[in-house]
Structures are given as structure tokens and as C-alpha cells.
Amino acid sequence: MDKNDKDYKKILIGKRIAKELSDGDFVNLGIGLPTEVANHIPKGINVYFQSENGIMGVGPAPNSGDEDPEMINAGGGFITAISGSAFIDSAMSFAIIRGGHLDMTVLGALQVDQKGNLANWWIPGKFVPGMGGAMDLVSGAKKVVVAMEHCDKNGNSKILQECTLPLTAVGKVNLIVTDMAVMKIEKDKFRLLEIAEGYTIDDIQKATEADLIIEGEIKNFGVN
């Protein structure tokens, strides 16, 4: 597949983030790109996915024709439930989030900066119904992973020295996985950990506005 293909990028990012999962984790997946993570759970790993509208134990999307209008995630997408799942009200669901009981949350982003700040809910001038549960999830989860494309549709870096869009949370991001690289926040900079197949360190530097720490072994990751 072409590395610029949308489906390729989605699978690439989803498979890499899935490697961060541990057996028994409670994980919230944001709408869109983050949901791909659920399709690549490593063998021998049991993970419990939460949807903030009140489900703990979200299963895969149903087959076409098997959709149940009463079984949806927080983004309105059709879902199934695994054996042993729990259905709770929104108050309990957000108590789980705010109480620090989620091991990980995976969210999309418009921008991330080198201080771990996240902007993922609003572009000024565009209508949005609200921030949703993102603010609570980023503040309450033990680990925050951002799943995003490295650059926007105009080729501008989304990995910045400082976010220019309204923030969702300050200093909460731990790991960023893009279609080009895996990075973590360290000393108010991005440490480059891995590079996607088909790219070079020079490519990452050119596509990243933020300050990078590049040292030690830099591994490659791909869809295989």
C-alpha cells in the first residue's frame, strides 16, 4: 500500500499504538482514527474498551445489517459488547474517567506541542457542539496517547513548539504516534523513538516544527 494512502496510515498508526496495550487494561478510544487500535490487539492480551456514554467492554463494530440502534459509542458509531461488559450511566462513566481508573486514553489531535499540550477540539470560526469528554479523558487517564497525521492537509506540521489553537489540556500528553514517527515528551522536547517505514530522520525533521531529541537507536515500525 502507498504510505500516503489514508487506509494505510490508519492501519499503521492503529497497529503501533496497540503495542502499548497491556493485559487487563481499561482503555478509552476517541472517535475516528483511534478506533483502529481495537482491530490490532496483540494475541494473549485482554483489553476492556470504555465509551464515555456508559459502556465498559466495547466490542468490534457489527457486521453490516446487524447494527443495533441502541448500541452506539460516544461518537454515534455502531458497536457490539464483549462478554462480561457493563452498562452504566454517564455519571458513573465519568466518575471512572475523572477518578483515574483508565489506564490509557487514545485521542486524535489538531496540534500537539513539545510541552505536552493538546489541542483537539476547536478550530476558531468553525462550529462544534462542545469539547465532549476529551478534557476529562486527558486529565484523568494514567497514560495519554495521541493518534494523528504528522502534517495537516496543507502540509503544515501538527507537531509544534507551541500550540496555536485552543487547548484541551496542558502538559498531559505522553506519547504521540503519527504516520511518520513515534515520539514522547521529554524535557520540553519531542524525543524521536521510531520512524515509519519509507521515511528518514531528515524527513521527520523537515515535517516537525518542534524541537527534537535524536539520539541512540531509532527503530522502524510498519504495518507488518
Active site residues: 52
∠ Cα 86 62 121 (to 5°): 75
Closest by CA position to 49, among listed 80, 14, 15: 80
Instruction: Count CA within 13 A, CB hemisphere, residue 171.
Output: 2
Q: What are phi and psi of 139, to 5 degrees?
A: -80, -30
**Residues whose CB falls within 8 Å of the CB of residue 130, separated by 6 or more in sequence, listed in order:** 121
Nine cell digits for residue 224: 507488518
Instruction: Count CA within 13 A, CB hemisphere, residue 224.
Output: 2
d(CA 24, CA 31): 22
Q: Label residue 141 exposed, middle or buried (CB < 10 Å: 0-12, 13-18, 19+).
A: buried
Nine cell digits for residue 110: 489538531
